[in-house]
Amino acid sequence: MADHQSLSKEIDQPEATRPDVQDLVASLPRRDGWSTTPLTLYNNYWLRSHMVAKFMLVRDNFKPRRDDVVLATHPKSGTTWLKSLAFTIFNRSRFTFANTPLLKSNPQLVVPFIGTTDGELDHLETLPSPRLLSTHLPLSLLPPAISTVGCKVVYLCREPKDSSVSRWHFENKIATGAPVSLDDAFHLFCQGVSPFGPFWDHYLEYWKESLARPHEVMFLRYEEIVSDPLKVVRKLATFLGVPFTEEEEESGVAEEIVSFCSFESLRNLDVNKTAAGVERAGGKLFLQGSALFRKGKVGDWVNHMSKDMGEAMDRLVQDKFKGSGLEF
């Protein structure tokens, strides 16, 4: 398998379409299984095959800045929610609830992903500081400068049984082929074969980073936001360097943000009601609204998995996280 060193030698221009990059991608292990796109194994992580070349460029070409804030999430952990919350908190001096871009754009689009589209790394260079960015990439596929320059990172993950059920529903909603059964999805997820999987390594990389850089890396779980969204919103505001003023606290701004970004509120916006699915246009991938809003509940796995499956995944999780201090 290609390592970072050999890759940086091979790529001296940020061109995901270069034949040598394409050849390198084609030489990597590849798996079908999910009903959407095949996955390719690159540096321990399963990535959607058509995205690998773009993601390879991120580590060598993305230039983190000291005052960047990166929202890093394992997919199906509440990325949409975190983006809405962080964007609203971060930009509250620029936008009101009446003119926020969230009324016109899917929340996934208001915070740019790092390196998902052609030319995006160049575009990110043009953004003024401080930048609010997002990624599903594991820490090991981001430039080491993320840590050394001391970027702030907010990491969000989710109880794995719920996350895998959410993944299963999502893949089938955006499927281009026959739907995948829950059984197959469960086995793929437990083998680590899901987009940006293995989930356990993804969680652990950021977990360890949060222990090493506690003031710069905030580690969040979906369940924490569900159980006390107001507390998380206040914590996020402080972490993002824009704590609520006394005046804002008195006028209930934090509560308004929680309410505006709630599942019901966002799901009911016209922009988020469009049919589930993805659309590819001009090299860009647009997630269509309703695919990102399903139930938004903790513990929904019980409605889909058997008790045995639940126990098997719990054992796997305990084993993978043993000794790390990370628990679910």
Question: What is the nearest approach in angstroms of ligand A3P to the Cβ of residue 35?
Answer: 16
Exactly one of 74, 123, 136, 202 is catalytic; which is it?
Answer: 136
If binding is defined by CB under 6 A, does position 197 make contact with ligand A3P? no
3-state DSSP of 240-299? CCCCCCHHHHHCCHHHHHHHHCCHHHHHCCHHHCCCCEEEEECCEEEEEHHHHCCCCCCC
State in angstroms the smallest separation of the CB of 321 from ligand A3P. Answer: 20
Which one among 36, 40, 49, 80 touches ligand A3P, defined by CB under 6 A?
80
224 forms part of the interface with ligand A3P (CB under 6 A): no
With CA atoms as reference, report the closest residue to 328 among 155, 209, 160.
160
Give me the numbers of helices (H) and strands (E) for the chain, helices first please.
16, 9
Residue number, 80 or 88, with CB nearest to ligand A3P: 80
Active site residue 304: no
> d(Cα 42, Cα 118) in Å, to the nearest integer?
19
Cβ partners under 8 Å of residue 33, min gap 6: 39, 180, 184, 188, 193
Q: In the bound complex, what is the minimum distance in angstroms from residue 220's beta carbon to ligand A3P? A: 12
**In the complex, what is the shortest distance from the CB of residue 145 to ligand A3P, in angstroms, rounded to a whole number?**
25
Whole-number Cα distances in Å, 228 to 218, 223, 297: 16, 9, 14
Amino acid at 147: S
Q: Does 300 engage in binding with ligand A3P (CB under 6 A)?
A: yes
Site for ligand A3P in 164-183 (CB under 6 A): 166, 169
Q: Which is nearer to ligand A3P, 14 or 301 (CB)?
A: 301
Nearer to ligand A3P, 147 or 262 (CB): 262
Residue 261 interacting with ligand A3P (CB under 6 A): yes
Q: Residue 75 CB, nearest distance to ligand A3P (Å)? A: 5
- Please, which residues have CB within 8 angstroms of residue 215's CB and are 6 or more apart in sequence? none
Quick check: 88 binds ligand A3P (CB under 6 A)?
no
**Residues at the contact surface with ligand A3P, assessed by CB under 6 A:** 73, 75-81, 162, 166, 169, 261-263, 266, 292-296, 300
**Active site residue ranges:** 136
